[in-house]
Amino acid sequence: MPDMDPHQQGPSIRDVLMRQDVHRSSLLWDAPLADERVPGVLTCRRQEKGLFEAGLDPQIAVYITDAGLDGLLQVPNIDVDHALITALVERWRPETHSFHLPHGEMTITLQDMEVIMGVPVVGLPMVGFTRMDKWGDLCAELLGHRPPDREVSGKKNTAVMEGQRVKAKWHEEWFRNPLPADATEMLMQQYARFYILEMLAGMLFMDKSGERHNIMYLQFFNPISNGKNYSWGSAALSWLYRHLCKASEKTAKQIGGVVLLV
């Protein structure tokens, strides 16, 4: 690691840290001198686990366990400290994928993902379709409902589905009611897939929109037990690294990924 003097403004040697000119930390040192505005606190995108507060039906939990993602059910719903995450991002270096601190380097590992988030890190790589003409068909097949192209809310006519991303509130309305007592196995699996999608899109793979779910993850749960064959932790860690790198840029205002782990 380049020599780091706690009193020095920025890295003293830039043979490795070559992106300092576009890094948000440079503004912290240079902005007061150039009469520029210091970057503010990042908005940390994360969806609350409100649907889990009433408790999860044991019949649904069985399928989530069968999919290998029951560890996510144990993750506490705690507040995210936006300022703390921003301070860490200011010390994140995309060149090394690590936090550069006065006492040395630190990073987030697969072990952290496995132990803290409870997701598997051993298994098949997450390789699937990211482009598909009929994402609505996949949603209808595995969740039992096809998102409309648009919905009218008051005077607004907004898109429900944009490519493979669907408004989270639209999904929640379909599954807000408890599982019926006479629910079929198919319906129980549809509920389980919805909760899995809530956890994946709202915790592990949160994007910067904060209001839409990416339904491409559904393709790994047909049948639902197929999900346990994949290394979700590896994919989530890669996704987090990507968001940390993007958030470390001068122009960034938001960050996604597993911010709860950070």
pLDDT tens-digit map of 196-248: 999 998 889 988 776 788 899 999 999 999 999 999 999 999 999 999 999 99
- What's the pLDDT tens digit per position in 68-82? 999 999 888 888 899
pLDDT at position 30: 64
Please measure the distance between the N-terminal and C-terminal CA atoms of the chain and give it in whole angstroms: 22
Say yes or no to pLDDT of 163 above 50: yes
Convert 27-62 to b/e letters by CB count within 10 Å (16 or more is b): beeeeeeeeeeebeebbbbbbebeeeeeebeeebee
Q: Are 149 and 139 in contact (CB under 8 A)?
A: no
pLDDT at position 12: 62
Q: Does the pTM of the predicted model rise above 0.95?
A: no
Query: Helix, strand or coil for residue 162?
Result: strand
